[in-house]
Every structure is written in structure tokens, then in C-alpha cells.
Structure 1
Amino acid sequence: MTVNTMTVSAGQALRVLREGWAAQRAGALTTSWMLHGRPGVGKTEVVRQLAAEQKARLYDLRLTTIESQDLRGLPYYDHETKKTLWYRPDDLPDDPNHPSLLFLDELTAAPPHLHPAVYGLLQERRVGPHHLPDNVFIVAAGNMVEDGAVAYEMGTALSDRLIHLNVEASASDWLENFAIPNSLHPAVAAFIRTRPDLLETTAEALDRGLMISTTPRSWERVSRIMQAVDDRALRKIMLAGTIGEAVAAEFQLVADDIEASVSVAALLEAAPKDRPALYPESMHGLHALIYGLVGALGPQTAVPVIDVMAGIRTLDRERSDAAFARMPLAELCTHGFEMAIRRGLEQGLAEDFLDHPAYEAYSQERRALGLD
């Protein structure tokens, strides 16, 4: 069954859910949300980030691991009323004084006999005798049958209780809203910047009968491998087992080039006159340098980060390497400063940029070209 709604990136889904949360808090819209998407595209990360932003308790309820009676709770006999009553399950939020996010994960993989118990949660915000407080925000998530995941078709009675978002991987969104804020390894960010088609390859892998595909989740794992494993031979095996042998081989070539030519720390510590010789000579290397600089940006490093970022723009004048003359240095510098400024604003470093002569010279040059 096709999910006939708009396709959004993970970042867009997060912005929609933020607005939905604000509307619910204002009493204007109380509903439940459904994130559809292939495995690993970032649905769970969106929910976790939303809960963290709202300072909410996250109740992660995996529907494939429970039975319908688990939602209703444990029965006991009340001798005074002569009725069977139910203890509230620990999986359901019950604090009216603290915001909570109830995450119904793997909804489409839950067996159909569980759906009636979920109906009440999604629509009436209750299951059996247990009501959810008004400050509980409900998000469900799941994969589709065509994604190659274990899933059941969603019936109309369940579908009608939800606002649906179809989440697809977007390289630019993932780099800006996940890779940079989470300080993923610069080689991963640089590789996806130049090969955005390899961020998510689930459909292609299914068509070719391959078990391993690339997803945003698997690239996060690649980043952890790169940061944790020094032995190149062992790292190669781990990478192949995470993103497939062919993609791993291509990525390793880029990672080797970056490892040999990029040292963010050396550039930041070098004297200005020595810096031009330390810049990497490949596009992959420059991309990795930019992501490394953005990751290194902080109150103590803002000045050298801005210096090094601005120096990218003039490499064709400072160095005699013919390769730099063919590179889009101005565009690389602009891209780097855009990311750095966003990161800087989050850290309260706006004045560091505005007061820095190298950034002012860069801004004046762009204004002269009519780009600002």
C-alpha cells in the first residue's frame, strides 16, 4: 500500500513535529503522528531529538515485543468494590506535571491482533481504564512491506487515526542536521558530500538481492568504527560488514587520502605563514577539512578556525599547485562558512565572526560580487 503523502527529510519531519508539539501545548491540535520510512533513515533519531529538545521523558514502546494485555496492565480483584481492576503498566506515561513523548515504534510490524489495543491510544489517548495526561505527545513509526522489512499492511481503521509523514534520506539535510551536530568523522561527511547517492541504497540493494545496504544509521556506525579502530585491516573488514564491500572499498580510498593529507589540529596550531603548505590537495581532503573545522569550532578555537576557513578561498594564489586552480575554492569557502556560522550561532559566537578581519574580508569580497 502506498503512503500517499508528501515526502520529507528527517530534518523537515523534526520541524513538523516541533510545530505539532507547540500546537498541542496551546490546546489547538491534539493528534498522533506516524513516521514512515525505510530502515535506518533516521525516524528514531528524530523522536529522540524531539524529546531532548522538549525536555520530555521518552517512553519507547516496541510494539513487536508486547501483547495487547501488556498495555492494559495487570489485573487484580478489589474485594471492597468486588470488581476486577487493573494496575497501570510502567510503559505508559502518567505524570501530568512533566511532558512525555510516547513513541510507538515498529507499529507496522506489530501483529494485527495488537492493533485494537493501539486504536484507543492513538485516538482516545487511553487503553482500557488508563488515560494519558494532556502533556503526552504521541509518535509512531514503522517500515513498509516494500522496504524489505517485517511489516503488515496498515488498515484504514489504524491509518485514519494518524497524521502521516513519509521520511526519506536527504544527504544535505543529514549532513547539516545530524552529521555536523553529532561530530561524525570528517571522512564520512566528506564522502557523503561528494557521493550523496550512497547515503541510502536500500532499494538498490533489494533489487540486486544484496543483504547489506547503506543508510544514515549505517554511516553513523562507520563513523564510530573510524574513530575507534586504528588497525586498517580490521577496520576494512568492519566497514565491509557495515556498508557492503564495494562501497567500503570506495570509502576507504577517500578515508586514506584524508588521513594522509588532513590535520585540522596542525592547521589550527600553525603560524599563519606556515598554513598554506598544510592544506590538503584534493576535493575530498578539503571537504573533510571543512567538516573538521566546523566540528572543532568553539570559544577557544573560533579565531584560528575562521583564519583557516578563510584561507581556502585564496589557495590558488598562495600555492602553485595546478590542482587548486581547477577547484571551486570560493564555493567551498562559502559552504564552510555557512556551516560554521550556524554552528557558531548555536554557541553564541556571532561576535567572533563579525569582529574577525578574515571573515570581514571574505564578506566584502562576496558583497563586491553581488552574492550577499
Structure 2
Amino acid sequence: MSVNTRPVSAGEAFDVLLHGWQAQAAGRMTASWMLHGRPGIGKTEIVAQLARSTGARLFDLRLTTIEPQDLRGLPYYDHEGQRTVWYRPEDLPDDPDHPAILFLDELTAAAPALQPTVYGLLQERRVGRHLLPAATFIVAAGNGVEDGAVAYEMGTALSDRLIHLSLRAEANDWLARYAIPNGLHPAVTAFIRTRPDLLETTEEALRRGQMIACTPRSWARVSTILATVPDRRLRDIMIAGTVGEAVAAEFALIADEIAATVQVTAMLETGARARVAMYPDTMHGLTALVYGLIGIADAQTLPGVIEIMAEIRHLSRLRPEPAFARLPLGELCTYGFEALIGKALGQGLQAAFAASPAYAAYAAERRAAGLE
């Protein structure tokens, strides 16, 4: 059964959930939400980010690991009242004074025997006599049968209790809202920037009968491997086991090029005249340089980062080589500044742009060209 709703990126899904949270907190709407998406696309990270952004306590229930009694609780006999009473499970929110997110992960893989208990949580916001606090926001997530994961078809009785969001991997969204904020390795961000089709390849892997596919989660793991495994041979084996042999071989070529040409720290420590010769002369190299500059930017380095970023648009004049004449230097510079400004705003460092002659010249050129 297909999820017949409009596909959204992870960033759009987060924005929708945040607005849903705000509407519930204001008493305007109470709903339960369902994130559909292939394994590794970022469903769990979206909910974790929502908890961080709202200050809510996160209750993460993996429904494939629990039984109905784990949600309902355990019974005991009340001799005085001559009745059976249920102990409430500790895995459910119970503090009315603190907002909480109840995350029902792997809902579509949960045993059918568990579904009636989940119905009560999603629709009535209760299990037995235990009523969830009003400040509890409910989100479920799961894979589809067609994703190659263990999953059951969702029945209409369960589907009707949810607002459904169908996630798709979108490279620009992932780069801007996950890779850059989390400081992923520049080789990974540069590779996905130039090969967005390889961010998520689950459908193609299933069609070819291959076990390993590229996913946003697997690329985050590649970034960790690059940062922690110095041995090239072992690193290549690990990356091949993460994204597949063919993609790993293509990635290795670009990673080698970046390692040989991108010198972010050295450029920050070098004078402007000598620095010109240190710019990479390929699109992969310059893209990795942009992400490296964004990653290293902080209160101390930001003025130098702005200068280096601004110079990119003039490389065809500063280094009159055929390679630079063929590259979209202006577009790359603009993209880099947009991402850099976004990071600076998040850290309260925007004053560095107002104080930078290099950025002032860049902005003046854009105004003169009618771009601002």
C-alpha cells in the first residue's frame, strides 16, 4: 500500500513537526504524526532534533523490541478493592509540568499483536487507565514493505489515526541542515554536492539485488571513518562496506584529490599574496574548500574565512589558468557565503560580516550587478 501524500525533505518534515508542536502547545491542535521513509534517511534524527529544539524530554520506544504488556504495564491483584490494577510502565511520559515527545519508532515493523495498544496511544493518548500528559507530542516512524525492511502493511484503522509525512532524501537540504551543522568531513560534503544522486540509492540497490546502499546515515558514518581511521587501506575497506564498492571507489578518487589540494588551516595562516597559489583548481577541490572553511569558522577564524571565501569569485583573474575560466566561481562563492552566513547567525557572529572589507566589496559587486 503506497503512502499517497506529497514527499517532503527531512528539513521540511522537521518544520512541519515544529509547527505541529507549537500548535499543540498553544491548544490549537492535537494530532499524532507518522514519518515514512527508507532506512537511514534521517527519521530518528528529525525527532531528536525536535526534542533538542523544544527542550522536550524524548521517550524513544522501539516497538520491535517490546510486548503489549511493556506498554500496558503489569497487573497486580488489589485484595482490598477486589480488582486487578495495572502498574504503569516507566517508558511513558507522566510529568504534566514538563513537555515530552513520545517517539514510537519502527511502527510498521511492530508485531500485529501490539497494534491495538498503540491505537490507544495514537488516538486516545492513553494506555488502559494511564492518560498521557497534555504536553506530550506523539510521533511514529517506520519503513515500508517496498523498502526491503521488515515491515507490515499499515491497516486503515491505524493509518486514520495519523498525519503522514513521506520523506525523500534531498541533497541540498541534507547538506544545509545536517552535514554543515554537524561538521561532516569536507570530502563527504563536496562529494554529495557534486553527486547528489548518490546521497540515497536504496531503490537502485534493491533493484540490483545488492545489500549495501548509500543513505544519509551511511554518509555520516563515512565522515566518521575519515576522521578517525588514519590507515588508508583499512579506511577504504570500511567505506566500501558502508556505501558499496563501486561508490567507494569513485569517492576515493575525489577524497584523494581533496586531501592533496585542500589546505584550509594553512590558507588561514598564509598572507593574501602567497595564498592565491593554494586554491584548488578543480570543482571538487574548491567545493571541499568551501565546506572546510564553513566547518572551521568560529569567532577567531571568521574574518580570515570571509576573505578566502570572497577571493574565490576572482580566481580566474588572480590565476589566469584555463581550469579556473571553466568553473562557476561566482555561483560557488555565493553558495559558500549563504551557508557561512547561516552558520554565523546561529552562533551570533554576524557582526564579522559588517566589519569585513572583503565581504563589503563582495556585497557591493552583487548590488552593482542587480543581484541584491
- TM class by smaller structure: over 0.9
Matched length: 372
1:265 aligned residue: 265
1:218 aligned residue: 218
2:96 aligned residue: 96
Deviation at 1:130, TM superposition (A): 1.0
1:111 aligned residue: 111
The separation in 2 between residues aligned to 1:65 and 1:126, in whole angstroms, is 20
Measured against aligned partners, the alpha-carbon deviations of 1:17-41 in whole angstroms (never above 9, x if no partner) come to 0000000001111110000011111
Deviation at 1:82, TM superposition (A): 1.8
Runs (4+) of structure 1 exceeding 3 A deviation are: none
* Aligned-partner residue type, residue 233 of structure 1: R
Measured against aligned partners, the alpha-carbon deviations of 1:247-303 in whole angstroms (never above 9, x if no partner) come to 000000000000010011011111112110111111101000101111111111110
The separation in 2 between residues aligned to 1:326 and 1:203, in whole angstroms, is 34
1:182 aligned residue: 182
SS state of the match for residue 84, structure 2? strand
2:235 aligned residue: 235
* Aligned-partner residue type, residue 249 of structure 1: A
Unaligned runs of 5+ in 2: none
Are 1:333 and 2:326 an aligned pair?
Answer: no
Are 1:146 and 2:146 an aligned pair?
Answer: yes
1:75 aligned residue: 75
TM-score (norm 1): 0.99
Deviation at 1:322, TM superposition (A): 1.7
The separation in 2 between residues aligned to 1:96 and 1:292, in whole angstroms, is 45
2:166 aligned residue: 166
Unaligned runs of 5+ in 1: none
The separation in 2 between residues aligned to 1:274 and 1:190, in whole angstroms, is 25
Deviation at 1:84, TM superposition (A): 1.2
Measured against aligned partners, the alpha-carbon deviations of 1:117-158 in whole angstroms (never above 9, x if no partner) come to 000000100011111000110000000000111000000000
2:131 aligned residue: 131
The separation in 1 between residues aligned to 2:361 and 2:106, in whole angstroms, is 52
* Aligned-partner residue type, residue 192 of structure 1: I
Are 1:5 and 2:5 an aligned pair?
Answer: yes
Matches within 5 A, 1:319-358: 319-358=319-358
Deviation at 1:320, TM superposition (A): 3.1
The separation in 1 between residues aligned to 2:225 and 2:190, in whole angstroms, is 16
Deviation at 1:201, TM superposition (A): 0.3
Are 1:297 and 2:297 an aligned pair?
Answer: yes
1:196 aligned residue: 196
The separation in 2 between residues aligned to 1:136 and 1:205, in whole angstroms, is 38
* Aligned-partner residue type, residue 142 of structure 2: G
SS state of the match for residue 86, structure 1? strand
Deviation at 1:80, TM superposition (A): 2.3
SS state of the match for residue 102, structure 1? strand
The separation in 1 between residues aligned to 2:48 and 2:238, in whole angstroms, is 27
Deviation at 1:214, TM superposition (A): 0.2
TM-score (norm 2): 0.99
Deviation at 1:189, TM superposition (A): 0.2
| Matched-pair identity in % | 67
1:122 aligned residue: 122
Deviation at 1:321, TM superposition (A): 2.3
